[in-house]
């Protein structure tokens, strides 16, 4: 447990000292969403209709952008090899890195989301649900993304490849994340969507660390 927390602490330190990385992810998130009113036009009705989807898609893309570096830097300087030799099971090491990724990108995205909801004229009934859906959904994104990030270790053109691999895997989270917000705005019950998002999260915790660890083992072999 101690070494598990140590990895989280180390990665958080690294993220904080390099500082700009998670800030850039949030800036990307904001700018990507702000492009939509320019592309579609500023009518409040249309913006409000597409707001949940646009915010969710931008969150997917933002969290994907930062995933490339999840294992890459450690792989390049050799520390991933040392981590994989440590007594802590590699699955837990991967989980620790996923938690750090969520803390450094998922949480800032969730904090920035209400601002974007205001900019996109989202119905006020949807605000709370947008946050709840993001809180339930973004950890799944980090977990699924970790598998992709581990698979591209040592590959050519890793970044583009990563998006090709994991964006299709994100689709279920996107569907239910958006549908929870839409349901809340229309006054329908949202319990089903939230339960399914929770189920995705539990399923991802059960599967993804193992798949990612298998890929990391293959990469450092």
Partner 1 sequence: MSWIILVPRTKKDPKVNESSAMKRIDWLANPARFQRLSRRVRPVAAWLTVGLLAAGLYLGLFQSPADYQQSETVRIMYVHVPAAWMGLFCYVSMAVAAGVGLIWRHPVADLAAKATAPIGASFTFLALVTGSLWGKPMWGTYWVWDARLTSMLVLLFFYLGYIALVNAFDDPARGTKMSSILALVGVINVPIVKFSVEWWYTLHQSASVVKAGGPSIHPSMLWPLLLMAFAYTTYYIWILLLRIDGEIAATKIRAARMRQVHG
Shortest spacing between CB 1 and partner 1, in angstroms: 27
207 near partner 1, rule: CB under 8 A: yes
The rounded distance, in Å, linking the Cα atoms of 212 and 202 is 16
Calpha distance 76→51 (Å, rounded): 39
Size of the site for partner 1 (CB under 8 A): 27
Q: How far is CA 171 from the centre of its chain?
A: 13
Residue 14 is a binding residue for partner 1 (CB under 8 A): no
Give the nearest distance from C-beta 157 to partner 1 in angstroms. Answer: 7
Q: Is residue 205 within the footprint of partner 1 (CB under 8 A)?
A: no
Q: Which residues contact 62 (CB under 8 A, 6 or more apart)?
A: 25, 26, 28, 29, 32, 105, 109
Tell which positions 167-196 bind partner 1, by CB under 8 A. 167-169, 171-172, 175-176, 179
Which candidate, 58, 83, 64, places its Cα nearest to that of 159? 64
Tokens 């339960």 sit at which residue?
195
Is 142 a binding residue for partner 1 by CB under 8 A? The answer is: no
Interface with partner 1 includes 154 (CB under 8 A)? yes
> What separation, in Å, do the N-terminal and C-terminal C-alpha atoms of the chain show?
25
Q: Could you say whether residue 159 binds partner 1 (CB under 8 A)? A: no
Q: Which residues bind partner 1 (CB under 8 A)?
A: 147, 151-152, 154-158, 161, 164-165, 167-169, 171-172, 175-176, 179, 200, 207-208, 211, 214-215, 218-219
């Amino acid at each position: 447990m101690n070494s598990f927390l140590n990895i989280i602490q180390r990665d958080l330190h690294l993220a904080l000292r390099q500082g700009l990385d998670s800030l850039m992810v949030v800036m990307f998130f904001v700018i990507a969403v702000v492009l939509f009113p320019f592309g579609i036009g500023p009518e409040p009705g249309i913006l409000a209709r597409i707001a949940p989807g646009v915010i969710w898609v931008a969150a997917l893309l933002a969290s994907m952008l930062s995933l490339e570096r999840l294992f890459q830097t450690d792989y390049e300087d050799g520390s991933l090899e040392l981590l994989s030799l440590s007594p802590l099971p590699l699955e837990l090491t991967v989980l620790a890195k996923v938690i750090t990724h969520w803390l450094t990108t998922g949480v800032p995205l969730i904090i920035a989301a209400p601002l974007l909801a205001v900019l996109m004229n989202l119905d006020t009934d949807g605000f709370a649900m947008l946050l709840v859906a993001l809180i339930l959904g973004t950890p799944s994104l980090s977990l699924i993304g970790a598998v992709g990030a581990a698979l591209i270790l040592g590959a050519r053109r890793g970044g583009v490849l990563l998006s090709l691999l994991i964006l299709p895997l994100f689709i279920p989270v996107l569907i239910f994340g958006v549908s929870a917000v839409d349901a809340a705005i229309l006054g329908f019950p949202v319990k089903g969507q939230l339960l399914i998002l929770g189920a995705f999260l539990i399923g991802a915790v059960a599967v993804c660390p193992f798949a990612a660890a298998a890929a990391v083992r293959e990469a450092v072999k």
